[in-house]
Amino acid sequence: MGKIWRISGPVIIAEDMRGSQVYEVVEIGEERLNGEIIGLEQDKAVIQVYEDTVGLTVGEKVTRTGEILMAELGPGLVGNIYDGVQRSLVTMKNEVGDFLHRGVRTHALDRDKKWRFTPALKAGAKVEGGDIIGTVQETGLIEHRIMVPPGMSGVIDSIEEGDYTVEETVAMLGSNGKTRPLSLMQRWPARKPRPYRRRFDPVDLLVTGTRIIDYLFPLALGGKAAIPGGFGTGKTVNLQQMARWSQTQLNIYVGCGERGNEMADVLHSFKELKDPGSGRYLQEKEIFIANTSNMPVVAREISIFIGITMAEYYRDMGYDILLVADSTSRWAEAMREIGARLEETPGEEGFPTYLGSRLSAFYERSGKVECLGSPDRVGSATVIGAVSPPGADFSEPVTQNTLRIVDALYSLDVALANRRHFPTINWLQSYSQYADSVDAWWEKVSPDYTEVRNQALITLQKEAELEEIVRLVGPEALPENDKLLLLIARMIREDFLMQSAYHPVDTYSDPKRSHLMLSTIMKFNDFAGGLAEAGMMVSEISASRIKQRISRMKDVPNDEIDQYIDSIRQDMAGGAVSLEEGGV
Amino acid sequence: MDSMQLFTRQTKAISTARRSLLIIESIPGIQFSEIVDVELGTGEVRSGQVIEVGKGTTVVQVFGGVSEVDLLDSKVRYKGETLKLPLSPDILGRIFDGSGKPIDGGPAIISQKYQDINGVPANPASRMPPAEFIETGISAIDGLNVLVRGQKLPIFSGSGLPHNKIAAQIIRQASLKGKSDDFAIVFGAIGVSYDDAAYFINNLEETGALSRAVGFINTASSPVIERLSTPRLALTAAEYLAWEMDMHVLVILTDITNYADALRELAAMRGEIPSRRGYPGYMYTDLASLYERAGRISGREGSVTILPILTMPDDDITHPIPDLTGYITEGQIVLSRPLDRKRIYPPIDVFLSLSRMMKEGIGEGKTREDHNNVFMQSYAMYAEGNYLREITTVIGSEALTDRDKVYLEAADRFERDFIAQAEHSRRTVEETLSVAWDIFSMLPEEDLKLINEKYIKKYLPESSESE
Ligand SMILES: Nc1ncnc2c1ncn2[C@@H]1O[C@H](COP(=O)(O)OP(=O)(O)OP(=O)(O)O)[C@@H](O)[C@H]1O
Ligand SMILES: [Mg+2]
């Protein structure tokens, strides 16, 4: 057992620590605060402490646990809320009350709860790491597949259906004359990626329900994306929207160094909102990590790895998982603070020189894979990280290092936020390298997807060019065809790209709805072009009934949208007639 | 360890005094982060804080610096305890300094309850999302940037702008819609001028609110270190009133810029590696440890709402103080110098302002069914008018269409009639919304596409141009 030798903020040095290992977990002082060894020198260990160190004093004891930091994995994760080191905040609330006092320890998984285990194999079966031995219905939405932990193999000696706690033995595994118990729970070191058989290219669209993402800058299952933006530009709302509506089996929401009230809002709304596909509460397909900005800084660093480990675990069952992390900047700042305490030589803006490699250690754990074990299955973990650049200046180190890693960028724009154009994803600066590979997916929804998308992007690009001229000569001085282009671009922006997270219907837009909306605007473009050629002024076209009806598409519920769009299109087809009647 | 006996211990073994730091021999029981007394040979006493404890030596930062500290006669006294505030219902109506001592001539607070001023984080799973609309009577806030109980919403101001007036107006007028239960006010003055502090105190006195207020005053001439403890004392008092006395508490903290500058000063003296513009890299986390003390806790009656005020150096919203604040708070009310020059009071820049808790606080049963639509349409209209205003500075208004001219006029009216109001005018939210509807009636009806048609029928006044 060691003793505290020095205390400097969240970092302490302990002496008499010979024999410990880097990343070993320790307990500090009377209150048994949680810490992790991050460096060793002779008999001294440098320890980052996951709890507030105020009030500690030299000479207090430091106890080694002999274990490195592990994530607990098993039934009971879904619907739970964890702090950065995977203590259940729900349990803490029940056991110690509304405030987070130090030194409280809880298990991630409830030790008393019984789960119904249904075996998938019989005694005598030969198994290896990743094989599914049975299932537990974790929530109404998640069938938890109990897997042989990676690296283990042998023959099932016994296995039995029944109600078990996560620690009880559900099966015995024999190998080389020894038998080992298997339970519903396994543990995995959070900093280490879980193994899989092989990787695939991400080619399937991850449907998020946010139009500008799905249609213009699509994300693929297993992809990695970043969403940088100044304060108040909508990072959190966008991530929440994705965690709500994405067509995945499970989502993990990591609130890292952000607001308590915001977390409360997420937690409450997920209890009330329903998954559009199944009609069940969203909480049944969500795991939350809430390490808010006033909770210990050091825990921010590990929280992200705990989150991604859980994502990989469910991926290994053959599911599609989305993990959103808000905000990776707070995570990076935590590393900066620890680095400063260790008196490491800092890199850019004081961040540690390993910032880039730590960021990729996180993002690279995304991917679409063939899982270990049988039956054969494919799973994916998609990762989206918010970035909070100081002064909304994207040239700063966290944004720049992130951009080198991710394949899709949703760049949030302060100017759009000021105008309350939401989502504020800037259509000229954002990109997705998945756009080409998910083409095939989209063409199944509609063969003209690529054409409509390109047309819209070109219109928006031209608008930006014309905008400069408008600022010099005014909109009235433009020729009619340019005015028409501006009108169409405006419709794309206001009637398609703008999408309020709080609109009762429009908050989620499925791919078909998105396609109907944009293709109708592009059809209106052709229709209006015809009218303009026939001598109609763009100002008249702009005041037309048809255009007004297009601008109300967002209010139309999903089950009426086909009919609504149909009637607009029919009217456009018969357009010449209604023009004469003055009823376009 | 005998914890009942609060006797202090001391040492004279000071080995180094440099910049603001003292290195002393470590003494058993001295705690990381505790506040100590440094007594000079002259008898003068300064406070200091333990910033590092080692086996052999302990580092103490002395507030007020180490000048005149000598290595022979000075001593360091410590308690083995961090800074605590005594709490009882008697704190209401009282005024304290930045170390928690009464400065109003009244008696010391007698209490069994001493609370560490750093507070304890609320469990996110115990928090309740803030959702109760606070009517401030100010249209730019109630209509477009709604404040709710448990929110932290700062005022970003600039020197010479009327942030104090606005804060005082909010203190005077804030109430829950339709209810008369009053807020308790906790006021923390951080490094402000004596006049500014007196302005608030007098205001509270005049409106009779002083009896349900507590003040913590650290003026520009008080010790810099106490700029760091002042807001923590204020928030500790607020939490006590909210979580234990079931009160709804409105905390005014002014000026956070002085707080951040003190943080920078003390960090620089320790020789820490600075981040942006010399402010410490942990400033986000430090500010969050204050602002995050706002909120609601499920199952408890009270609430803590925080209204910090800060002056943006050079009116620059990207400066680290407003920037990091904006990253923590749930929105911001930004004051605009151009509007102030146009003599618009309150000069609230509604584009830069934001309330993130707004959607929870508005709508049917809370304010009115059309509130969200009115909010969105107001922005669209004012943004369009502003854009046109910008381009007309180059091209002149002749180059605009008739429709565009209507928008220009609407933007002007929006500033004159909606944003502007008298310092003592208190508009109900219905009045606020109807001012907006009046302005909407200038626009072509088909442009009101952010408003549900049924509300247009119900609330749009007969158009003035319906010839
Ligand atoms: N899709 C959206 N629909 C409607 N409103 C939105 C949308 N996105 C953002 N907003 C509005 O913008 C506000 C700010 O968004 P959000 O809190 O997500 O910003 P942020 O980028 O996370 O800021 P910070 O970095 O400070 O956390 C929200 O409170 C909401 O009012
Ligand atoms: Mg956010």
CATH code of the domain in which B304 resides: 3.40.50.12240
- The CA A233 to ligand 1 mean position distance, Å, reads 5
Q: How far is B384 from chain A (nearest CA, A)?
A: 9
Q: How far is B127 from chain A (nearest CA, A)?
A: 6
Residues contacting residue A235 through CB under 8 Å, at least 6 positions apart: A227, A228, A229, A326, A327, A386, A387, A388, A412
In A10-29, the residues whose Cβ lies within 8 Å of chain B are: 15
How far CA B97 is from CA of A555, B103, B187, B214, B329, in Å, comes to: 56, 6, 11, 11, 26
Quick check: A181 contacting B, CB < 8 Å? no
Average pLDDT score over residue span A175-197: 94
- Indicate if B375 and B392 belong to the same structural domain: yes
Domain end point (choices B16, B47, B81): B81
Q: Which residues of B touch A54 (CB under 8 A)?
A: 31-33, 82, 116, 118
Whether the CA torsion A475, A481, A484, A485 is positive or negative: it is negative
Share of chain A above pLDDT 70, in %: 98
- Best residue in B79, B120, B127, B372 to probe A by mutation, most A CBs within 10 Å? B127
By most ligand atoms within 8 Å of CB, the mutation choice from A258, A293, A422 for ligand 1 is A422
C-alpha–C-alpha distance, residues B418 and B436, integer Å: 7
- The CA A291 to ligand 2 mean position distance, Å, reads 13
CATH fold of A196-434 reads: Rossmann fold (3.40.50)
Judge whether residue A30 has pLDDT over 60: yes
Alpha carbon nearest to ligand 1 atom 18, residue: A234
Domain end point (choices B332, B361, B390): B361
Count how many residues are written for chain A: 584
Average pLDDT score over residue span B245-264: 95
C-alpha–C-alpha distance, residues B245 and A461, integer Å: 59
Q: For A167-314, list the strands marked E by DSSP.
A: 169-175, 178-183, 186-189, 198-200, 224-228, 250-256, 286-291
Q: How far is B388 from chain A (nearest CA, A)?
A: 9
Give the number of other Cβ atoms within 10 Å of residue B256's Cβ. 27
In A272-291, the residues whose Cβ lies within 8 Å of chain B are: 290
Give the number of other Cβ atoms within 10 Å of residue B66's Cβ. 23
Which residue of B31, B292, B318 is in closest CB contact with A260?
B292
Q: Looking at residue B404, which CATH number applies to its domain?
A: 1.10.1140.10
Burial of residue A228 (number of CB atoms within 10 Å: 0-12, 13-18, 19+): buried
Do A260 and B29 count as a contact with CB atoms less than 8 A apart? no
pTM for this prediction: 0.93
Average pLDDT score over residue span A345-352: 89
Q: How far is A397 from chain B (nearest CA, A)?
A: 12
Judge whether residue A577 has pLDDT over 50: no
Judge whether residue B142 has pLDDT over 60: yes
- Indicate if B93 and B212 belong to the same structural domain: yes
Q: CATH assignment of A446-582? A: 1.10.1140.10
pLDDT of residue A411: 97
Assigned domain for B146 exists: yes
Of B437, B316, B353, B358, residue with least CA distance to B166: B353
Q: Which residues of B touch A99 (CB under 8 A)?
A: 120-123, 126
C-alpha–C-alpha distance, residues A136 and A171, integer Å: 14
Q: Which residues of B touch A263 (CB under 8 A)?
A: 124, 127
Average pLDDT score over residue span B437-449: 93
pLDDT of residue A276: 80
- Total domains, chain B: 3
Q: pLDDT for B92-104, tens place per residue?
A: 999 999 988 899 9
If you average pLDDT over every residue of chain A, what do you get? 93
Residue B19, phi then psi, degrees to nearest 5: 45, -120
| Angle between the N-to-C axes of helices A298-316 and A355-363, in degrees from 0 to 180, rounded to the nearest 10 | 30
pLDDT of residue A458: 97
- Indicate if B235 and B304 belong to the same structural domain: yes
Judge whether residue B188 has pLDDT over 70: yes
Quick check: A395 contacting B, CB < 8 Å? no
C-alpha–C-alpha distance, residues A126 and A146, integer Å: 15
Burial of residue B175 (number of CB atoms within 10 Å: 0-12, 13-18, 19+): middle
Q: CA-based angle A513:A514:A518, to the nearest 5?
A: 120
| Closest ligand 1 atom to Cα of A210 | 1
The DSSP secondary structure of A503-567, one letter per residue, reads -TTTTS--HHHHHHHHHHHHHHHHHHHHHHHTT--HHHHHT-HHHHHHTTGGGS-HHHHHHHHHH
- Indicate if B98 and B129 belong to the same structural domain: yes
Beta bridge partners of A169: A183
Helix (H, G, I), strand (E, B) or coil at A262: helix
Domain spans in chain A, listed from the N-terminal domain onward: 2-68, 115-184, 196-434, 446-582
pLDDT of residue A448: 94
User: What contacts 24+ positions apart, CB below 8 Å, involve A531-540?
Assistant: A531/A575, A531/A579, A531/A584, A532/A480, A532/A481, A532/A484, A534/A576, A534/A579, A536/A579, A537/A480, A538/A480, A538/A483, A538/A484, A538/A487, A539/A483, A539/B401, A539/B403, A540/A584
- Indicate if B387 and B344 belong to the same structural domain: no
By most ligand atoms within 8 Å of CB, the mutation choice from A233, A244, A330, A412 for ligand 1 is A233
C-alpha–C-alpha distance, residues A431 and A485, integer Å: 23
Tokens of residue A77, six digits: 């994760």
Query: ipTM value of the model?
Result: 0.92
Pick one of 3.40.50.720, 3.50.50.60, 1.20.1250.20, 2.40.50.100 as the CATH number of A115-184.
2.40.50.100
Average pLDDT score over residue span A262-287: 91
Average pLDDT score over residue span A513-519: 96
C-alpha–C-alpha distance, residues A415 and B20, integer Å: 44
CATH fold of A2-68 reads: Elongation Factor Tu (Ef-tu); domain 3 (2.40.30)
pLDDT of residue B221: 87
Q: For B26-112, list the strands marked E by DSSP.
A: 35-39, 45-54, 57-62, 75-78, 84-87, 95-97
C-alpha–C-alpha distance, residues A234 and B234, integer Å: 31
If you average pLDDT over every residue of chain B, what do you get? 90
Helix (H, G, I), strand (E, B) or coil at B339: helix
C-alpha–C-alpha distance, residues B463 and B467, integer Å: 9
- Indicate if B21 and B120 belong to the same structural domain: no
Assigned domain for B1 exists: no
Q: pLDDT for B315-348, tens place per residue?
A: 999 999 999 999 999 999 999 999 999 999 999 9
Which H or E element spans position B387? helix B371-395
Judge whether residue A542 has pLDDT over 80: yes
Alpha carbon nearest to ligand 1 atom 6, residue: A422
Judged by average pLDDT, the poorest of A75-84, B32-41, B144-153 is B32-41
Alpha helices in B41-162 (DSSP H): 139-142
| Amino acid, single-letter form, for residue B405 | K
pLDDT of residue B267: 86
pLDDT of residue A582: 47
Q: How far is A100 from chain B (nearest CA, A)?
A: 6
Residue A343, phi then psi, degrees to nearest 5: 55, 40
The number of C-alpha atoms within 13 Å of B430 and in the hemisphere containing its C-beta is 5
Judge whether residue A138 has pLDDT over 80: yes
Residues contacting residue A321 through CB under 8 Å, at least 6 positions apart: A248, A249, A250, A251, A252, A311, A314, A315, A379, A380, A381, A382
In A237-256, the residues whose Cβ lies within 8 Å of chain B are: 255
For B117-130, give one letter per residue: b (16+ CB within 10 A) or e.
Answer: bbbbbbbbbbbbbb
Alpha helices in A387-510 (DSSP H): 397-403, 414-418, 435-445, 449-473, 480-491
pLDDT of residue B207: 85
Tokens of residue A266, six digits: 């997420």
C-alpha–C-alpha distance, residues B9 and B94, integer Å: 31
Assigned domain for B270 exists: yes
Ligand 1 binding pocket includes A418 (Cβ within 6 Å): no
Do A388 and B327 count as a contact with CB atoms less than 8 A apart? yes
pLDDT of residue A575: 67
pLDDT of residue B463: 58
pLDDT of residue B6: 47
Domain containing B449 equals 371-466
Q: pLDDT for B409-436, tens place per residue?
A: 999 999 999 999 999 999 999 999 999 9
Burial of residue A583 (number of CB atoms within 10 Å: 0-12, 13-18, 19+): exposed
Tokens of residue A483, six digits: 């005015």
| Closest ligand 1 atom to Cα of A262 | 17
Pair A245, A208: CB distance under 8 Å: yes
pLDDT of residue B467: 36
Of B342, B291, B355, residue with least CA distance to B142: B355
Give the number of other Cβ atoms within 10 Å of residue A189's Cβ. 15
pLDDT of residue B271: 79
Domain end point (choices B341, B361, B381): B361
pLDDT of residue A155: 96
C-alpha–C-alpha distance, residues A398 and A333, integer Å: 9
Quick check: A57 contacting B, CB < 8 Å? yes
Pair A209, A513: CB distance under 8 Å: no
C-alpha–C-alpha distance, residues B19 and B267, integer Å: 11
pLDDT of residue A390: 94
Do B289 and A101 count as a contact with CB atoms less than 8 A apart? no
What phi-psi label fits residue A240: left (phi over 0), alpha (psi between -120 and 50 degrees) or beta? Answer: alpha
Of A161, A231, A153, A243, residue with least CA distance to A424: A231
- Indicate if B130 and B74 belong to the same structural domain: no
Average pLDDT score over residue span A484-511: 95
Do B281 and A350 count as a contact with CB atoms less than 8 A apart? yes
- Indicate if B217 and B290 belong to the same structural domain: yes
C-alpha–C-alpha distance, residues A148 and A495, integer Å: 51
Q: pLDDT for B196-226, tens place per residue?
A: 999 999 998 988 889 999 999 999 988 888 8
Give the number of other Cβ atoms within 10 Å of residue A309's Cβ. 24
pLDDT of residue A9: 84
Judged by average pLDDT, the poorest of A407-421, A535-549, B134-148 is A535-549
| Amino acid, single-letter form, for residue A326 | D
Beta bridge partners of A3: A15, A61
Q: Which residues of A touch B32 (CB under 8 A)?
A: 7, 53-57
β-pairing, B303-311 with B155-157? parallel
C-alpha–C-alpha distance, residues A321 and A251, integer Å: 6
pLDDT tier for residue B12 given thresholds of 50, 70 and 90: confident
- The CA A401 to ligand 2 mean position distance, Å, reads 20
Highest mean pLDDT among A270-274, B44-48, B367-371: B367-371
pLDDT of residue B179: 65
pLDDT of residue B180: 61
Judge whether residue A584 has pLDDT over 80: no
Average pLDDT score over residue span A408-413: 97
Judge whether residue B1 has pLDDT over 70: no
Do B320 and A390 count as a contact with CB atoms less than 8 A apart? yes
- Indicate if B262 and B341 belong to the same structural domain: yes
Average pLDDT score over residue span B251-262: 96
- Indicate if B167 and B314 belong to the same structural domain: yes
- Indicate if B297 and B407 belong to the same structural domain: no
Assigned domain for B366 exists: no
- Indicate if B140 and B202 belong to the same structural domain: yes
Judge whether residue A471 has pLDDT over 90: no
